[in-house]
């Protein structure tokens, strides 16, 4: 039986045009909408799978503003059964602050008799891309950490985690409790169903305040890269463009044998 | 002093580590010519003497080689303890690495142990006092200026943000061997087995005159036949986006970009690739770019020299047919 905690972060959907807030401190999400990273979607899926395979449970946690409850509800709709919301202005929290707050949640849950054996996070957040909250969390808790794997399973009090690395397809076997950070690609995240969403609405979310004042990120400001002028020559649309393309290939001399 | 964690393969220091050293050298020059040292952990397949020789051409003063049984299999915490021991001896004020999975992992451990911040995917530095770096955030579509006021300043350099260039004058680098004690706790999370990686055929990709690129637009692992045929018809290689390797459609050695190969062909033909900054980092030195994409506003289209707007599954077979027709 493994009780898994998965950490998700509400971020602005940056697949379209990205706009910054006037103070240059964050990405403006008013028009773009919000999401979590692909890595975290896979982490949620793995948490639910490990819970099902071991007869344990999957819980979700986020630190963010009041609206971050939306991301908790989505995780609840795909199989998590408990959720914790550390309500705070996330932009004032650096990676060390976030790690400390998640560690406080883990410790308090353990003290209340509802501890976690395994904490899953994304390899990196889709906005700040700090690549470190999971590792810092492990040091806060004094637990081992496996970084950047695509699959996890739990058996006999150990977690088996594997993913591709420079030495090939690498496997780690680590005793629980442990922290593991997930890279997308190992599992297909399921989508919330209507009954799933209905069920998620009924779950009472644990609301908390941060345990300490944040030291803050070391951000000076955000900038958008300068726009590049385009001088692309459009050769045509669809299959009809083929002759123009082959003309170009001939002109560049790449067709000669 | 500046300390750079160097990763190696059978050829010596990998390209992105040589880029990180180049970055560190520029930083050292701005700081009045402080020395740059390298730290390598574990076995060096190319041989340590050859590595010291190679890093000397990059202006590295000393190579600290941390070896021993503890490093036979990768363990992030153990590697960080090795880097930490070298940093303590050298009193380095900056510790940098390439923004690879290993580089980022080891330095995040180091930063957590030292209680300092870490900046991931740095592309440039703005000033020394205060020390401000610029790094990629939001999938590369935004830059963040970040102040690293603690010591050591810890950061990773985004792949292909700078070019790896040997130093103007070669240095006779020295070799410092060390075998530090590693705490049992730092070995708990280590690789217990590794299936040999697929053979690295990226050499062909890096030297190809024409590269046919394929991204999410290929649709599935079955969507590559026409693209491979085009690559064959133009005597080129296939290069792919990270989405394609993450989804397991194609092997990692075919990946182009910040965490893949950097290519500089005469012609790059990216099909169904949006042109994210991390992909662009690997293909920006192509002489000509012919983008094939359904979206006329995709960054790859606007940055290309030529483009066809359309479904690659229609456009590419038509191109192949036209080439075959003209040849017969
Ligand atoms: C730290 C870091 C490192 C990274 N390193 C790399 C790297 O080394 N290399 C890399 O590539 N990425 C890298 N990425 C990922 C990068 O940010 C993008 O997510 C990725 O490049 C997008 O791949 P894509 O263009 O295939 O997919 P998408 O961005 O999803 O784009 C698909 C494109 O295909 C077009 N399309 C869809 N269907 C068709 C069709 N039928 N015909 C024609 N066009 C079609 C769409 O219009 C779109 O433009 C990295 C990201 C991070 C955070
Ligand atoms: N505010 C947050 N709330 C919950 N989890 C977070 C938060 N920030 C980061 N994380 C987790 O830490 C991972 C790595 O984030 P980062 O180190 O910031 O790139 C993310 O993928 C999340 O799983």
Question: B299 in the Ramachandran plot: left (φ > 0), alpha (ψ -120 to 50) or beta?
Answer: alpha
Contact assessment for residue B76 and residue B189, using Cβ atoms and an 8 Å cutoff: yes
Query: Is there a cis peptide before residue B130, judged by omega within 30 degrees of 0?
Result: yes
* Of B73, B82, B19, B87, nearest in space to B43 by CA: B73
b/e for A52-77, b at 16 or more Cβ within 10 A? eebebbbbbbbbbeeebbebbbbbbb
- Which residue blocks in A90-241 are alpha helix, DSSP H? 95-111, 133-141, 194-202
**pLDDT 10s digits, A54-71:** 999 999 999 999 999 999
Is the CA virtual torsion A73, A74, A77, A82 positive or negative? Answer: negative
Helices then strands, each counted (H, E), chain B: 10, 17
- Rounded Cα distance, B36 and B236, in Å: 39
Side-chain-side CA neighbours of residue B94 (13 Å): 29
- Most distant pair of Cα atoms in chain B: their distance: 69
Neighbours of A81 (CB within 10 A): 15
A134-148, A223-237, B285-299: least confidently modelled range: A223-237
Q: What is the pLDDT along chain B (328 residues), one digit of tens a residue?
A: 999 999 999 999 999 999 999 999 999 999 999 999 999 999 999 999 999 999 999 999 999 999 999 999 999 999 999 999 999 999 999 999 999 999 999 999 999 999 999 999 999 999 999 999 999 999 888 999 999 999 999 999 999 999 999 999 999 999 999 999 999 999 999 999 999 877 777 888 999 999 999 999 999 999 999 999 999 999 999 999 999 999 889 998 999 999 999 999 999 999 999 999 999 999 999 999 999 999 999 999 999 999 999 999 999 999 999 999 999 8
Q: What is the pLDDT of residue A227?
A: 82
- Rounded Cα distance, B104 and B43, in Å: 20
Side-chain-side CA neighbours of residue B25 (13 Å): 24
The residues facing B195 across adjacent strands are: A169
- What is chain A's mean pLDDT, rounded? 95
Q: Do B311 and A147 touch (CB under 8 A)?
A: no
Q: What is the pLDDT of residue A204?
A: 96
Q: What percentage of chain A exceeds 90 in pLDDT? A: 89
Q: What is the pLDDT of residue A229?
A: 85
Residues on chain B touching A27 (C-beta within 8 angstroms): 138, 142
CA of B45 to the centre of ligand 1 (A): 33
Give how far B109 is from chain A: nearest CA, Å: 6
Give the pLDDT band (50/70/90) at residue A166: confident
ipTM reported for the complex, 2 dp: 0.94
Q: Is A75 in the pocket of ligand 2 (CB under 6 A)?
A: no
Q: Is B59 exposed, middle or buried (0-12, 13-18, 19+ CB in 10 A)?
A: buried
* Of B288, B294, B290, B298, nearest in space to B314 by CA: B294
Q: What is the pLDDT of residue A257?
A: 57
Query: Is there a cis peptide before residue B24, judged by omega within 30 degrees of 0?
Result: no
- Rounded Cα distance, B139 and A91, in Å: 17
> Residue A191 corresponds to which tokens in the numbers above?
């989508």
Q: Do A165 and B101 touch (CB under 8 A)?
A: yes
* Of A43, A113, A54, A110, nearest in space to A78 by CA: A43
Mean pLDDT on A109-136: 97
Task: Set out the domains of chain A in order of their start, with CATH numbers.
Answer: 3-208 (3.40.50.620)
- Rounded Cα distance, B206 and B230, in Å: 18
b/e for B77-99, b at 16 or more Cβ within 10 A? bbbbbbbbbbbeebebbbbbbbb
Q: Is A47 in the pocket of ligand 2 (CB under 6 A)?
A: no
Give how far A107 is from chain B: nearest CA, Å: 19
- Rounded Cα distance, B267 and B235, in Å: 11
Mean pLDDT on A27-52: 95
Q: Which strand (E) or helix (H) includes residue B82?
A: helix B76-90
Residues on chain A touching B142 (C-beta within 8 angstroms): 14, 18, 20, 27, 222-225
Contact assessment for residue A82 and residue A204, using Cβ atoms and an 8 Å cutoff: no
> Residue A93 corresponds to which tokens in the numbers above?
């929290």
Q: What is the pLDDT of residue A256?
A: 64
* Of A191, A32, A193, nearest in space to A127 by CA: A32
Q: What is the pLDDT of residue A19?
A: 92
A29 pLDDT more than 80? yes
Task: Set out the domains of chain B in order of their start, with CATH numbers.
Answer: 2-187 (3.40.50.620), 210-327 (3.40.50.1220)
Contact assessment for residue A137 and residue A172, using Cβ atoms and an 8 Å cutoff: no
**DSSP-assigned letters across all residues of A13-71:** --SS---B-TTSSSB--TTT-EE--HHHHHHHHHHHHHHHHHT-EEEEEEEE-GGGHHH
Q: What is the pLDDT of residue B26?
A: 97
**pLDDT 10s digits, A188-224:** 999 999 999 999 999 999 999 999 999 999 999 999 9
């Amino acid at each position: 039986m493994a009780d898994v905690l998965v950490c998700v972060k509400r971020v602005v959907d940056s697949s379209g045009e990205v706009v910054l807030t006037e103070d240059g401190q964050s990405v403006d999400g008013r028009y773009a909408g919000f999401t979590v990273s692909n890595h975290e979607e896979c982490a949620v899926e793995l948490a639910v799978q490990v819970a099902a395979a071991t007869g344990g449970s999957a819980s979700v946690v986020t630190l963010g503003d009041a609206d971050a409850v939306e991301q908790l509800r989505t995780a609840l709709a795909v199989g998590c059964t408990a959720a914790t919301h550390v309500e705070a202005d996330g932009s004032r929290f650096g990676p060390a602050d976030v790690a400390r707050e998640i560690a406080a949640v883990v410790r308090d849950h353990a003290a209340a008799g509802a501890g976690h054996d395994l904490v899953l996070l994304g390899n990196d957040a889709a906005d700040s891309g700090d690549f470190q909250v999971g590792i810092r969390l492990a040091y806060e808790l004094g637990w081992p950490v496996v970084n950047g794997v695509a699959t996890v399973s739990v058996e006999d009090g150990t977690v088996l985690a594997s993913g591709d690395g420079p030495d090939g397809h690498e496997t780690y076997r680590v005793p629980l409790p442990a922290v593991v950070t997930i890279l997308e690609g190992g599992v297909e995240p399921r989508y919330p169903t209507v009954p799933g969403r209905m069920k998620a609405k009924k779950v009472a979310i644990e609301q908390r305040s941060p345990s300490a004042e944040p030291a803050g990120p070391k951000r000076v400001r955000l900038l958008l890269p300068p726009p590049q002028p385009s001088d692309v020559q459009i050769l045509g649309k669809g299959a009809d463009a083929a002759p123009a393309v082959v003309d170009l290939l001939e002109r560049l001399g790449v067709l000669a044998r | 002093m500046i300390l750079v964690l160097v990763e190696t393969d059978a050829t010596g220091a990998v390209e992105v580590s040589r880029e990180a050293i180049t970055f560190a050298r520029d930083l050292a020059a701005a700081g009045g010519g402080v020395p740059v040292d390298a730290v390598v952990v574990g076995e060096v397949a190319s041989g340590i003497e050859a590595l010291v020789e190679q890093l000397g051409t990059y202006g590295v003063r000393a190579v600290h080689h941390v070896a021993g049984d503890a490093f036979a299999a990768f363990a992030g915490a153990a590697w960080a303890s090795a880097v930490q021991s070298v940093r303590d001896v050298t009193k380095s004020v900056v510790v940098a690495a390439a923004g690879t999975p290993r580089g980022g992992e080891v330095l995040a451990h180091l930063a957590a142990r030292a209680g300092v911040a870490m900046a991931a995917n740095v592309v440039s530095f703005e000033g020394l006092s205060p020390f401000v770096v610029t790094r990629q955030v939001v999938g590369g579509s935004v830059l963040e200026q970040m102040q690293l006021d603690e010591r050591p300043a810890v950061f990773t350099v985004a792949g292909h943000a700078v070019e790896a260039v040997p130093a103007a004058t070669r240095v006779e680098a020295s070799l410092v061997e060390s075998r530090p004690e590693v705490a049992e706790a730092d070995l708990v999370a280590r690789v217990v087995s590794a299936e040999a990686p697929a053979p690295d055929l990226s050499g062909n990709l890096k030297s190809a005159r024409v590269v046919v690129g394929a991204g999410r637009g290929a649709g599935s692992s079955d969507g590559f036949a026409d693209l491979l045929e085009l690559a064959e018809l133009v005597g080129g290689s296939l290069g792919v986006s990270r989405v394609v390797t993450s989804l397991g459609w194609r092997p990692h050695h075919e990946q182009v970009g910040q965490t893949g190969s950097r290519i500089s062909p005469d012609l790059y033909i990216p099909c169904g690739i949006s042109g994210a900054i991390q992909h662009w980092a690997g293909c920006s030195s192509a002489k000509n770019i012919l983008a094939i994409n359904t979206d006329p506003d995709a960054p790859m289209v606007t940055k290309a020299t030529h483009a066809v707007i359309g479904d690659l599954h229609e456009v590419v077979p038509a191109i192949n047919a036209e080439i075959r027709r003209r040849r017969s």
